[in-house]
Structure 1
Amino acid sequence: MGLLTALEGGYGDRGDALVVDGRAMSRERLLGAAGAVAERAAGAEALAVLARPCAETVVAVVGGLLAGVPVVPLPPDSGPKERAHILRDSGARLLAVPAGEDTGAGEAAKGIEALPVELTARSSGAFAEPAPERAAFVLYTSGTTGAPKGAVIPRSAVAADLDALAAAWQWTAEDTLVHGLPLFHVHGLVLGVLGALRTGSRLVHTGRPTPGAYAGARGSLYFGVPTVWSRVAADETAARALGGARLLVSGSAPLPVPVFERLAALTGRSPIERYGMTESLITVSTRADGERRPGSVGLPLDGVRTRLVGEDGGPLPEDGETVGELQVAGPTLFAGYLNRPEADAESWTADGWFRTGDVAVIGPDGFHRIVGRASVDLIKSGGYRIGAGEVESALRDHPAVADAAVVGAPDEDLGQAVVAYVVADGGAVTGEQLTAFVAERLSAHKRPRRVVLVEDLPRNALGKVLKKQLLDLG
């Protein structure tokens, strides 16, 4: 069985099996156009794809996978420096773009050749299934420290993850998957495109993830990030239109509890939350037939193991209170960073576990709650270890708070002081009131030492707050 089993037949086909930004195609048409890409890409070191939310992106990605060539998605809004780094680092000399476009004079001068993607192209050639250990993707991380690193994702990891998610979410060919997420990340591309091409479900990519587009798509399975779900929850008409869906899945960042509760109230469906990384794909999720607990990402997927460790590397108790670094092991993990042995050495333990760099709490029942990144979300203040996520959740419970982000600021006395950046939701509220509000709900040492009221929080394309920019706000 190949990676993209729905393209092998047996699932039926229809003219709108895939709809991307309003353009429909059958799986047969997708396979023919992708085969034409595969014929040109075969033998290349890598195939870069300008990953706009369009049908040509899907065709190019599938073409690279058919040819057994690692696919390197390029964010369409990447600047010249970032794009040049990814092309150079990955070794890609082919850049798939919609027919009629070129790579640009600068990239052509560097030996980058355009591979035009034509939706009407056809190939009847047969392509042998590449070995499972071959790379399916080289996905570049956000590069919060230094240049972005290329995570090499084997085909076997993609298959294992999609099969585990299909089991957890009861995802079948009877579903219609709807989302409008970027096609250069795990969430939108691996889950949101390859998931449909492996399970046989119909796919509707809305181009942009607006509440109206989601409401009009009439899907049974929806993917979104917290920003998307927050906007849906604020649009009562759109939210109620999703009441016929089977699952609403949220990921890429924690879903605020008030958004979870409002979605559940308006749609009659409590959202599914899941956790993963570029390097690990999705490893933890709540289940279609299980409890969906606000603020929790649920249980490890089939085949995945997790553990909490302290700063000394020793095991920590799974008692629902202790905060520690989350480490994972299992078949969904990446093969390593491309040409970065020093980064690999830092990322793996001696006994073969991947250091996620995230901090979490695991309960006695196995449910996981992600606190955030160890570098910015684990605050060490006055000898206490404080998870920023817990303080953020408490702040969001205040009726005058629309959003909040918490960081640790350098402090001569405490080491780090808890600082909250808060977006007010109408009405007057002061920092003193919010500090008192948190102190009534959490331990006193977790209260913010300073509250900064802001109009908005800086976020990336997936809705994650860029916390390192917050301290520059004052």
Structure 2
Amino acid sequence: MTLLTALQGDYGDSGDALRVDGRALSREELLGAATAVADRVAGAPGLAVLARPTVETVVAVVGGLLAGVPVVPLPPDSGPKERAHILRDSGAALLAHAAGDAVPADAGIAALPVDPAERSATTYAEPDAAATAFVLYTSGTTGAPKGAVLRRAAVGADLDALAEAWGWTAEDTLAHGLPLFHVHGLVLGVLGALRTGSRLVHTGRPTPSGYAASGGSLFFGVPTVWSRLAADPEAAGQLASARLLVSGSAPLPVPVFEKLAALTGHAPIERYGMTESLITVSTRADGERRPGSVGLPLTGVRTRLVGEDGEPVASDGESVGELQVAGPTLFSGYLNRPDADAEAWTADGWFRTGDVAVIGADGFHRIVGRASVDLIKSGGYRIGAGEVEAALRDHPAVADAAVVGAPDEDLGQAVVAYVIPDGPVTGDQLAAFVAERLSVHKRPRKVVLVPELPRNAMGKVLKKQLLAGSAG
């Protein structure tokens, strides 16, 4: 089976099977333009793509995949140091870009301008399923970004499992406005449409008005996107005709979940994954959609919880442990980083996600957060930051919250909350509010009211920055 099934099969075609920021291509036009790129890159060790939300980005990515050349998406806002590291480490020989884009002078590799009007009729044999599809670079919060090597088979297995879980078919119109250098926006949000045969509308930017006007039946978004939609009842109401709203890349606050459900008539689907594992756990379209939960493992995926002592943690809905996963969607390893590979895998072949989670007796998963910043050890207790954050968001005067464990001489770590207020409230009131709803030892010892929280491009809170501030 080919990776991009809809480019080869009879799925019907229209002039706008693919629409990115108002510019449209039919599947036939996309295949011809991408094949022209494949003709120019075939045999290269890697193809970097300046991944702006454009038709040219999609053409370049598909061209690399047709030619069997590993594709390396380059964040368009990457700074000189990060950009140089990705290009050097990946071994990419060419940097694809839209003709009108300014290519950084310090890129150091040959530029490859992409013209969506160019055509080629060359036929390429399907590359081996074990061949590399992508080298995707992680955020690099602890040093230089690491390149996760993703096989074509892993991408195909994940998209097929998601299509099953979400009832995703060629009858859908997928709509989103997510970045095209991440798993969410690129692998799911572009290749998913090219595998299932669904129409794709990329809105350019993920604005409420863009989503409302897209005509989508299946929507992808991150919590920031859904929060903005929930604050725009008119735009949210336009999504009532949709089939499914999917949220990922960060936990969806329960109040946003509830507002979306009320405004659109659709309780959102939540899912969990990483660059290294793709998507492994999700709520199903035909199953329960439980606020704060990411659902059940996808077909073929296995999960388990492990304690700090290496022993299994019970799936009792209360016990917290590190989430480990196994299955066909996992990456092959980190490029040029055997040391990181050794840390990432267990002796019996499970991937250590570094996330802490709770699994219920019914198999539903709830992600607490990153073990490095979200598992707080305070006074002998193990506290999940996500649980405290959820309690804070239940307060009517809280717009959002992030919780970290700050160094404390007495407790080891103290629970510190950073809160964006949405009305008059004090730190003492919020600490008491949490203590009334959770165990008293989980209450914040310090509450800092802030106008905003630092976030990355996918809406995830940069807790390392908050920790640095609390230490100061």
Fold conserved (TM > 0.5)?
yes
CA distance in structure 2 between the aligned counterparts of 1:345 and 1:81, rounded to whole angstroms: 26
The residue type equivalent to 1:231 in the other structure is: R
CA distance in structure 2 between the aligned counterparts of 1:9 and 1:137, rounded to whole angstroms: 23
Q: Report if the CA contact (8 A) 1:102-1:114 is conserved.
A: no
Identity across matched positions, percent? 82
CA distance in structure 2 between the aligned counterparts of 1:106 and 1:192, rounded to whole angstroms: 30
CA distance in structure 1 between the aligned counterparts of 2:154 and 2:40, rounded to whole angstroms: 26
Tell me by how many angstroms 1:472 deviates: 3.8
Gaps of 5+ in 2: none
The residue type equivalent to 2:22 in the other structure is: G
- The reply on whether 1:15 has 2:1 as its aligned counterpart is no
1:267-286 mapped onto 2 (5 Å cutoff): 267-286=264-283
CA distance in structure 1 between the aligned counterparts of 2:361 and 2:397, rounded to whole angstroms: 34
CA distance in structure 2 between the aligned counterparts of 1:170 and 1:17, rounded to whole angstroms: 19
The residue type equivalent to 1:4 in the other structure is: L
Tell me by how many angstroms 1:99 deviates: 2.2
The residue type equivalent to 1:263 in the other structure is: L
CA distance in structure 2 between the aligned counterparts of 1:307 and 1:43, rounded to whole angstroms: 40
Q: Report if the CA contact (8 A) 1:225-1:252 is conserved.
A: yes
Tell me by how many angstroms 1:163 deviates: 0.1
Q: Report if the CA contact (8 A) 1:187-1:252 is conserved.
A: yes
Residue 365 of structure 2 corresponds to: 368
Tell me by how many angstroms 1:313 deviates: 1.1
CA distance in structure 2 between the aligned counterparts of 1:421 and 1:270, rounded to whole angstroms: 28
Residue 4 of structure 1 corresponds to: 4
- The reply on whether 1:124 has 2:121 as its aligned counterpart is yes
1:284-331 CA distance string (max 9 Å, x none): 000000000000000000000000000011101000000000000000
Tell me by how many angstroms 1:457 deviates: 0.4
Q: Report if the CA contact (8 A) 1:103-1:113 is conserved.
A: no
CA distance in structure 1 between the aligned counterparts of 2:80 and 2:21, rounded to whole angstroms: 26
- The reply on whether 1:251 has 2:243 as its aligned counterpart is no
- The reply on whether 1:438 has 2:438 as its aligned counterpart is no
Q: Report if the CA contact (8 A) 2:50-2:97 is conserved.
A: yes
Gaps of 5+ in 1: none
- The reply on whether 1:453 has 2:452 as its aligned counterpart is no
Residue 46 of structure 2 corresponds to: 46
CA distance in structure 2 between the aligned counterparts of 1:150 and 1:352, rounded to whole angstroms: 20
CA distance in structure 2 between the aligned counterparts of 1:214 and 1:185, rounded to whole angstroms: 20
CA distance in structure 2 between the aligned counterparts of 1:103 and 1:94, rounded to whole angstroms: 12
1:374-420 CA distance string (max 9 Å, x none): 00000000111000000000000000000000000000111000000
CA distance in structure 1 between the aligned counterparts of 2:160 and 2:153, rounded to whole angstroms: 11
Tell me by how many angstroms 1:100 deviates: 4.7
1:247-288 CA distance string (max 9 Å, x none): 000000000000000000010000000000000000000000
CA distance in structure 1 between the aligned counterparts of 2:21 and 2:351, rounded to whole angstroms: 37
Residue 57 of structure 1 corresponds to: 57
Range moving further from structure 2, 309-318 or 93-102: 93-102
1:283-362 mapped onto 2 (5 Å cutoff): 283-362=280-359
CA distance in structure 1 between the aligned counterparts of 2:309 and 2:72, rounded to whole angstroms: 37
Tell me by how many angstroms 1:102 deviates: 5.9
Q: Report if the CA contact (8 A) 2:405-2:467 is conserved.
A: no
Q: Report if the CA contact (8 A) 2:403-2:417 is conserved.
A: yes
TM-score between the two structures when normalised by the length of structure 2: 0.99
Residues 238 and 100 of structure 1: is their aligned pair in 2 closer, same or farther, counting only changes over 3 Å?
closer
1:84-123 mapped onto 2 (5 Å cutoff): 84-101=84-101, 103-107=103-107, 110=108, 112-123=109-120
SS for the counterpart of 2:174 is strand
Q: Report if the CA contact (8 A) 2:406-2:467 is conserved.
A: yes
The residue type equivalent to 1:227 in the other structure is: T
Q: Report if the CA contact (8 A) 1:143-1:149 is conserved.
A: yes
Residue 136 of structure 2 corresponds to: 139
Aligned length: 470
CA distance in structure 1 between the aligned counterparts of 2:377 and 2:10, rounded to whole angstroms: 55
The residue type equivalent to 1:55 in the other structure is: V
**Match for 2:194 among 194, 197, 201?**
197
SS for the counterpart of 1:407 is strand
CA distance in structure 2 between the aligned counterparts of 1:200 and 1:306, rounded to whole angstroms: 30
Tell me by how many angstroms 1:191 deviates: 0.1
The residue type equivalent to 2:64 in the other structure is: G
TM-score between the two structures when normalised by the length of structure 1: 0.98
SS for the counterpart of 2:178 is coil
CA distance in structure 1 between the aligned counterparts of 2:333 and 2:434, rounded to whole angstroms: 41
Tell me by how many angstroms 1:218 deviates: 1.3
The residue type equivalent to 1:399 in the other structure is: P
The residue type equivalent to 1:182 in the other structure is: P
The residue type equivalent to 1:356 in the other structure is: T
The residue type equivalent to 2:27 in the other structure is: R
1:191-211 CA distance string (max 9 Å, x none): 000000000000000000000
Residues 101 and 394 of structure 1: is their aligned pair in 2 closer, same or farther, counting only changes over 3 Å?
closer
Residue 35 of structure 1 corresponds to: 35
CA distance in structure 1 between the aligned counterparts of 2:264 and 2:365, rounded to whole angstroms: 25
Range moving further from structure 2, 98-107 or 62-71: 98-107
Tell me by how many angstroms 1:105 deviates: 2.9
